[in-house]
Structure 1
């Protein structure tokens, strides 16, 4: 999510109108229509994101446990998010910091994921050192920024190719740059020179209609944080009705662009009001695991069986010990909460893992 570790997402609360390790409601398969340009298929992705906040998170002892827990929900995919940072939204380049997952740690956890039977998506992020919304990044020198960004992308694309990562995202919620189709197409072409799997871009729910380069990618990626109402609710039927105009629009968008749509992120904190602002880490201080679970149920039920839907990658599994700034009882993780039971129901895993 664009508010990685420190930032509180502050996206416009627009009305509800909206690839790797992620979910749809039918049988657990990986069959799909052929990807238009990349090798591989993108469909019925069901999985969970495991972000990193520090250089060695992906090599921590908990890594293997987290992956077993993710697989035990019935997920088939896991997404990893190595992140580079820039100080200001106008900077000409991004850089590694001590919060960037080290390459050896990323290689390590991809190997562990494959051992656990999970497919992987690498989804590199760019964030701001002092927090804030990455959608506000608007470089003063676009040529310099895109040159640096292409080097950033191809670094991870080579790593993805070397480790056998099954899918790659060329960006996440960079709305301040994503209308620049010419420069983005060049960046995508550079990635394709070194990585031959399916490619996506993770557009925010209020950004995806403005992306001019979907035809250069294999699947449309959307971070699906639409508000589903103006007041908290645990009424699953009401939440499903809120999805109806969104899914109608997405069906038409998919048909117009001849691409399936993957929810590259979707998630809800276990706080009262999360359905009114799914993008917020701090919508309230009142725990509401029942509202989180209702939101999970409504999304999976509303999207189940949609032929244009490639799946969902939930944000997110547990934080690493001593790194999360949101208490687990209030955080996005479904682990150990009713939302995990919802995942198991839809993904075919009925009993807890015990981890």
Structure 2
């Protein structure tokens, strides 16, 4: 599949645990997402859980990870709504450590956990879902998300990408973390460069200047595999901090989206977004004003996104 002109996307399902997909509530959520945002793409995102940042086993077949059938269900639902699908398996740590800190010694030490053991387990996880992505016709596969300490392990990532290409024929990307676009040395092995766009509302121009150098150096398509902001006072200045204390504030979230879209719209190499995020279990519209999370359902940013996406799709000739 060739890179689309523009990815008008929304991430669906993350934080969903086993048993919360493949039901009427999840179906309603996805239907509302497609209708309310004007999206043409969705990233179906879920997590497997390793115990700590230094554990080498990722038991993706165990709860709380959603089941294979729940994943297949979500893909079918998305496609029934006319959405292109990026399958996005993610790793998290049970003890709460952020996945960016998964790390091991660069040189093997007896009796210590090793990169080779971790990549063996991680590769089995990604290849399992790469096969499902192929079977179900997913247009894209994201093989990793914000795993900053792993980024330097170029040989292992190149090996995994080669193995994925042996079982999956769609587009392949890796979602690097914010500020890390120029720290990944293996973009050439992928089809698309993507990153997390959690940049302060007033800093987009400077960050886009930096990212543009990476994109031009590698000559690859680029989009933001994540981007978003909580509807919380102060969040537009630090949109990656989901723990920031403050009252619910729809205007704050709306200002972030306006600033991001305005800055990115002047850069023709930014080929879209997979916005963060839309849960499988959706709050009601009546509860939207009190919700201070990333989801835009029933909030002012919802209309901003819908207008932007429908305009981009119309201009690119993508309207269905």
TM-score normalized with structure 2 length = 0.88
Distance 2:243 2:115 in 1: 33
Query: What is the CA-CA distance between 1:56 and the residue it aligns to?
Result: 2.2
Distance 1:327 1:191 in 2: 43
Q: Which has the higher contact order (CA 8 A, sep 6+)?
A: 1
Structure 1 runs, 4 residues or longer, greater than 2 Å off: none
- Is the contact between residue 318 and residue 335 of structure 1 (CA under 8 Å) also seen in structure 2? no
- Is the contact between residue 16 and residue 279 of structure 2 (CA under 8 Å) also seen in structure 1? no
Corresponding residue number in structure 1 for 2:42: 78
SS of 1:75's equivalent in the other structure is: coil
Query: What is the CA-CA distance between 1:347 and the residue it aligns to?
Result: 1.9
Bigger mean CA offset, 91-100 vs 72-81:
91-100
Corresponding residue number in structure 2 for 1:338: 300
Distance 1:156 1:328 in 2: 36
- Is the contact between residue 41 and residue 86 of structure 2 (CA under 8 Å) also seen in structure 1? yes
Corresponding residue number in structure 1 for 2:314: none
Residues 1:207 and 2:171 aligned together: no
Residues 1:89 and 2:62 aligned together: no
Cα separation, partners in 2 of 1:308 and 1:141, compared to 1, 3 Å: same
Corresponding residue number in structure 1 for 2:247: 286
Spell out the pairing of 1:223-234 with structure 2 (5 A cutoff).
223-228=196-201
Spell out the pairing of 1:131-150 with structure 2 (5 A cutoff).
131-139=96-104, 140-150=113-123
Distance 1:199 1:300 in 2: 25
Q: Which of 169, 180, 185 is 2:153 aligned to?
A: 180
- Is the contact between residue 46 and residue 312 of structure 1 (CA under 8 Å) also seen in structure 2? yes
Q: Give the RMSD, CA atoms, in angstroms.
A: 1.8
Distance 2:57 2:239 in 1: 30
Deviations 1:125-154 (CA, angstroms, capped at 9, x unpaired):
000012121111013311111111111110
Corresponding residue number in structure 2 for 1:4: none
Q: Which of 123, 131, 144 is 1:171 aligned to?
A: 144
- Is the contact between residue 48 and residue 59 of structure 2 (CA under 8 Å) also seen in structure 1? yes
- Is the contact between residue 29 and residue 281 of structure 2 (CA under 8 Å) also seen in structure 1? no
Query: What is the CA-CA distance between 1:319 and the residue it aligns to?
Result: 5.2
- Is the contact between residue 226 and residue 277 of structure 1 (CA under 8 Å) also seen in structure 2? yes
Distance 2:55 2:243 in 1: 28
Cα separation, partners in 2 of 1:295 and 1:308, compared to 1, 3 Å: same
Distance 2:228 2:22 in 1: 25
Residues 1:299 and 2:260 aligned together: yes
- Is the contact between residue 230 and residue 239 of structure 2 (CA under 8 Å) also seen in structure 1? yes
- Is the contact between residue 75 and residue 136 of structure 2 (CA under 8 Å) also seen in structure 1? yes
Bigger mean CA offset, 59-68 vs 266-275:
59-68
From the two aligned structures, give the one with the greater helix fraction. 2
Distance 2:11 2:290 in 1: 16
Distance 1:117 1:328 in 2: 31
Spell out the pairing of 1:1-355 with structure 2 (5 A cutoff).
39-50=1-12, 51-72=14-35, 73-96=37-60, 97-139=62-104, 140-228=113-201, 239=202, 242-318=203-279, 320=281, 329-348=291-310
TM-score normalized with structure 1 length = 0.80
Distance 1:118 1:180 in 2: 34
Distance 2:310 2:225 in 1: 21
Equivalenced residues, count: 296
Distance 1:158 1:328 in 2: 40
Structure 2: stretches of 5+ with no match in the other structure: 105-112, 312-320
Distance 2:209 2:132 in 1: 37
Query: What is the CA-CA distance between 1:82 and the residue it aligns to?
Result: 2.5
Distance 1:94 1:287 in 2: 36
Distance 1:62 1:175 in 2: 34
Deviations 1:276-300 (CA, angstroms, capped at 9, x unpaired):
2111112123111101001111111
